[in-house]
């Protein structure tokens, strides 16, 4: 199966923090391959309705994620006269997703690991925080 990607593989290999839509697209593929519309539905479900991907946004992201080696096209089929493409998470994508989850967990611990946050430079009295 071949599909011309928008991205040609010359993307930087150094990844910073993932944007939430990318994180949710990869997360949606953890249980197995999905076709585009199912990825959009699953992403919305995982985000509690906060993230709703437009079709063009999703396929641009999938092209980029394929070029980066995080996602692969696993199946193409014709359904009602239209091509339906299904995408799966690669081993590289699973590693990147796990690394991002660990990065976010460590960042969250900076806040949740504190016993009493200072407010306005003062430590709140017991019962007020």
State which residues form the domain around 25. 20-112
Q: pTM of the full predicted structure?
A: 0.76
In a domain, residue 72? The reply is yes
Q: Is residue 119 part of a domain?
A: no
Residue 121 lies in a domain: no
| Residue 83 domain flag | yes
Taking alpha carbons only, the member of 19, 25, 21 closest to residue 39 is: 25
Alpha helices in 68-112 (DSSP H): 91-112
CATH number of the domain within which 79 lies: 1.10.10.10
Instruction: Decide if 8 is inside a domain.
Output: no
Tens of pLDDT along the chain (129 residues) come to 544 444 444 444 446 789 999 999 999 999 999 999 999 999 999 999 999 999 999 999 999 999 999 999 999 999 899 989 999 999 999 999 999 999 999 999 998 887 766 777 666 666 655
Structure tokens at 114: 């504190």
Our count of domains for the chain comes to: 1
- Quote the CA–CA distance of 108 and 58 in Å, as a whole number: 27
Please report whether residue 124 resides in a domain. Answer: no
pLDDT of residue 6: 45
Cα–Cα distance list, 128 to 17, 123, 125 (Å)? 35, 10, 6
CB-CB neighbours of 117 under 10 Å = 9
pLDDT of residue 111: 87
């Amino acid at each position: 199966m071949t599909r011309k990607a928008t991205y040609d593989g010359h993307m930087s290999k150094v990844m910073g923090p993932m944007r939430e839509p990318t994180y949710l697209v990869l997360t949606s593929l953890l249980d197995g391959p999905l076709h585009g519309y199912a990825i959009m539905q699953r992403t919305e479900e995982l985000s509690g309705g906060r993230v709703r991907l437009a079709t063009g946004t999703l396929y641009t992201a999938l092209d980029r994620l394929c070029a980066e080696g995080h996602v692969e096209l696993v199946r193409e089929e014709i359904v009602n006269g239209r091509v339906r493409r299904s995408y799966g998470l690669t081993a590289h994508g699973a590693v990147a997703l796990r690394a991002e989850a660990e990065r976010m967990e460590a960042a969250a611990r900076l806040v949740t690991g504190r016993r009493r946050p200072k407010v306005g430079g003062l430590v709140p009295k017991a019962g007020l925080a």
